[in-house]
Amino acid sequence: MGRFFKFIFATFGLVALLALVAAFWGMSDLNRYEHMTPEQRSAEQAAFVAKQDAAAKRSLIEHHDGRHCLSTIGGEHSGLVVAFKQTPREPDSLEIINTRISEVDAQGNHNLVMSYRARNGFGGISIGTLEAEVKNSDCSFTILSNVSR
């Protein structure tokens, strides 16, 4: 029993020591800010604002060209792929070839064109093109046409 209590006290002591180190570290960072000159403070604030503006511009560009609705891994609209995967005769054979999305139009929509390959009912591979309209605000979609060759 003595070893167990020693272990418990040692663990609590270590946690308390780590909490103290973290508290002093955080206070030293605040202390650094307090000792800045007004010019240094304004320069640091300007750098922070510039970083936020750059992030906002990047987000605006991504939302304008529709990339925010596409997967970063495969480049397809994942919701559209899941919905469309129900339509081929062999859903596991669906392979996305290419996905293109237009810039946002005046109504707040993107036009999306997805090329795909899928096995048809006769066992052959058919190539198709799916056209959809994607809302810029929430990335919801409406399938406009599906043509396979």
**Structure confidence by residue, pLDDT tens digits, 89-111:** 777 888 889 999 888 888 888 99
**Domain extent listing, the chain:** 67-148
What is the rounded CA–CA span in Å between residue 69 and residue 75?
9
DSSP notation for 84-96: HTTSSSSGGG-EE
The region that residue 75 occupies, defined by phi over 0 for left and psi between -120 and 50 for alpha, beta otherwise, is left
Residues 74, 137: Cα–Cα separation, whole Å: 21
Average confidence score pLDDT of the chain: 81
- In sign, the C-alpha dihedral spanning 60, 63, 67, 70 is positive
pLDDT at 133 over 90: yes
Residue 28: predicted pLDDT: 61
**If you count them, how many residues does the chain have?**
149
Mean pLDDT of 119-147: 87
Question: Could you give the CA distance from residue 30 to residue 33 in angstroms, rounded to a whole number?
Answer: 5
DSSP character for 103?
Answer: P
pLDDT interval class at 115 (50, 70, 90): very high
Query: With contact defined as beta carbons under 8 Å apart, do 134 and 140 qualify?
Result: yes
Handedness of CA 26, 32, 38, 39 (dihedral sign): negative
Whole-model pTM over 0.75: no
pLDDT at 132: 92
Q: What whole-number distance in Å separates Cα of residue 29 and Cα of residue 41?
A: 13
Q: By percentage, how much of the chain surpasses pLDDT 70?
A: 90
